[in-house]
Amino acid sequence: MCRPATTYALVLKKQGTGGWGNSKATVKLADGRTLLSESLAAGATEKEYNFNPAYSVYPQWTHWSYLVDGTAAPAGWNTLSGAPSNWETQRPGQFFAASGVTQYYFTKFQIEDLTEFASMDIAVNVKAGVVVYLNGVEIRRYNLPENTEVKEDTAATGESGEPFLLVIGEAVQRERLVVGENILAFELHRYEANEETNSFDGSAILILDNMYLLLDGTGTTVPALTGVEGSDKVFDNNSATKMLTATGICEGVELIWSWSNDRREPIGRYGLVSGNDCNNRHPSGWTLYGSNDGESWTVL
């Protein structure tokens, strides 16, 4: 079927009060990522999950203005006011192979309303280095020197064997996204040699508030446990399951979630479900940390 790209609701219903366990309904995006994965817990016979499948910038089909001949982009190329009007435009899969160290791509897009949304997931197909700009502001760099100016002859610090999808979460509360016209820009840097076939593609999609985000990544616990009440039950988004670290003993436990492909996700809200009456299992005993690299942690 062909339906307008807008916000939808997935309504799950069942007869009886038994839970679905690990069985889930999943909504996948065009680039293969999972947008929604939900189930029904024991005691619930119906639940509604809202989701937004409408890309602000579509993968595969968006026309991008680009410069890949090795020359430097002019100042302000990644802003609405300074974006060049004379660059060639093309869709992913049709770009020329790059001949210099750096490639430049940008596209403009419209946002009608931001009130229902918590963040925007921005994705780019990358093999070596990249700088990501939203409305002229750098929001992420990857495989490039930090805290230094990146120029047209700056080579990436490494590369992957094959291009992969790098996802960047941008919180609406940062106010870099605006209602009306926006511009998304990518600056790609090669490592040692350019690809024979240009694999660039990019996308952007708004994420509704209060969505479950622990989807593409790895969850670990310390101590680590397996079995019916093992570590994986912490992150399965199923209130009918639990992780049990010990019997009759109050002990602390570390819960760590890392997103795939160096993805950084802004956290708008979080929820923890704790059991029994150990003091360190109440909210007063929780400490929430955040990290951009999985090594340096900040108490949030």
Q: Which of 15, 36, 53 is the last residue of a domain?
A: 53
Q: Which of 208, 241, 266 is the last residue of a domain?
A: 208
* CATH number of the domain bearing residue 161: 2.60.120.260
Question: Can you give the pLDDT at residue 29?
Answer: 85
Question: Residue 195 burial by CB count (10 A; 0-12/13-18/19+): exposed, middle or buried?
Answer: middle
- Asked if 73 and 185 count as a contact pair (C-beta separation under 8 A), the reply is no
Residue type, 62: T
Q: Are residues 160 and 65 in the same domain?
A: yes
Residue-number span of the structural domain to which 229 is assigned: 213-299
73 DSSP 8-state letter: P
Q: Which of 169, 193, 208 is the last residue of a domain?
A: 208
Q: Are residues 200 and 59 in the same domain?
A: yes
Q: Are residues 136 and 244 in the same domain?
A: no
Domain count, the chain: 3
Q: Strands, DSSP E only, in 243-286?
A: 254-259
Q: Are residues 168 and 83 in the same domain?
A: yes
Q: Are residues 36 and 102 in the same domain?
A: no
Q: Are residues 76 and 45 in the same domain?
A: no
Site of tokens 């002019």:
74
- Asked if 118 and 208 count as a contact pair (C-beta separation under 8 A), the reply is yes
Separation between Cα atoms, residue 166 and residue 162, nearest integer Å: 12
Main-chain dihedrals φ then ψ at residue 106, nearest 5 degrees? -150, 155
Predicted model pTM: 0.87
- Asked if 195 and 100 count as a contact pair (C-beta separation under 8 A), the reply is no
Q: Are residues 182 and 106 in the same domain?
A: yes
Q: Are residues 76 and 117 in the same domain?
A: yes
Tokens read off for 87: 């660059």
Per-residue pLDDT of the chain (300 residues; tens, 9 = 90+): 678 888 999 999 988 777 777 788 889 888 788 888 888 877 788 889 999 999 999 999 999 999 999 999 999 999 999 999 999 999 999 999 999 999 999 999 999 999 999 999 999 999 999 999 999 999 999 999 988 999 999 999 999 989 999 999 999 999 999 999 999 999 999 999 999 999 999 999 999 988 888 888 899 999 999 998 899 888 888 777 888 887 667 778 899 999 887 777 887 777 777 766 666 667 777 888 988 777 899 998
Specify the 3-state DSSP secondary structure of 231: helix
- Integer-rounded Cα radius of gyration of the chain: 22
Site of tokens 């064997």:
161
Q: Are residues 242 and 202 in the same domain?
A: no
30 DSSP 8-state letter: T
Q: Are residues 153 and 114 in the same domain?
A: yes
277 DSSP 8-state letter: S
Separation between Cα atoms, residue 55 and residue 16, nearest integer Å: 37
Q: Are residues 90 and 176 in the same domain?
A: yes
Q: Are residues 68 and 132 in the same domain?
A: yes
Question: Can you give the pLDDT at residue 62?
Answer: 97
